[in-house]
Structure 1
Amino acid sequence: MGKASTRDKILDAALTLFSEKGYDGVGVDLIGENAGIKGPSLYRHFKGKEDILNSLIEKVGAYYELNFGSENHIDRIPESVEELLTFSMERIRFTMHDVTLQKTRRILVMEQFRNPRIAELTSKHHMDGLQGMFQKIFEAMMEMKILKMDDAGTMALEFVAPVSLLIHTYDRQPEREAEVMEKIKKHFEHFAKMYAN
Structure 2
Amino acid sequence: MERSKKTGMPEDDFDKMPQPFRNTTVESVMAYMKAQFSYWTEDETACNFRRMLTLEQYRNPEMANLYQKVLASGPVNYIEDLFREMMLSGTWLEGSPRQMAVEFFAPFYLLLSMSDAASGKEEKEKVAVLFTTHLECFVETYAAKMP
Q: Structure 2 length as normaliser, TM-score? A: 0.76
Contact 1:71 1:129 in 2 (8 A): no
Contact 1:112 1:118 in 2 (8 A): yes
Task: Give the SS at the match of 2:129.
Answer: helix
Match of 2:31 in 1: 86
What is the rounded CA distance, in whole Å, between the counterparts of 2:28 and 2:12 in structure 1? Answer: 18
What is the rounded CA distance, in whole Å, between the counterparts of 1:123 and 1:183 in structure 2? Answer: 25
What is the rounded CA distance, in whole Å, between the counterparts of 1:145 and 1:169 in structure 2? Answer: 34
> What displacement does 1:174 show?
5.9
> What displacement does 1:125 show?
2.0
Percent of aligned pairs with the same amino acid: 26
> What displacement does 1:82 show?
3.0
Matched positions, count = 132
> What displacement does 1:159 show?
0.6
Task: Give the SS at the match of 2:45.
Answer: helix
Query: Are 1:146 and 2:91 matched, yes or no?
Result: yes
Match of 2:60 in 1: 115
For residues 51-70 of structure 1, the C-alpha deviation after alignment (integer angstroms, 9 at most, x for no partner) is xxxxxxxxxxxxxxx33555
For residues 91-123 of structure 1, the C-alpha deviation after alignment (integer angstroms, 9 at most, x for no partner) is 221222223211211211222222222223223
Match of 1:191 in 2: 138
1:14-163 → structure 2 map (5 Å cutoff): 66-68=1-3, 69=11, 71=13, 76-77=20-21, 79-163=24-108
Q: Structure 1 length as normaliser, TM-score? A: 0.58
Match of 2:124 in 1: 177
One-letter code of the match for 2:142?
A: Y
Higher relative contact order (CA 8 A, sep 6+): 2
For residues 136-162 of structure 1, the C-alpha deviation after alignment (integer angstroms, 9 at most, x for no partner) is 111121121110111111111111111
What is the rounded CA distance, in whole Å, between the counterparts of 2:117 and 2:68 in structure 1? Answer: 19
One-letter code of the match for 1:190?
A: C
Q: Which of 1 and 2 has greater Rg?
A: 1
> What displacement does 1:80 show?
3.4
Pair 106,146 (structure 1): closer, same or farther in 2 beyond 3 Å: same
Structure 1's consecutive aligned runs of 4 or more residues displaced over 6 angstroms after TM superposition are none
What is the rounded CA distance, in whole Å, between the counterparts of 1:174 and 1:90 in structure 2? Answer: 22
What is the rounded CA distance, in whole Å, between the counterparts of 2:72 and 2:29 in structure 1? Answer: 18
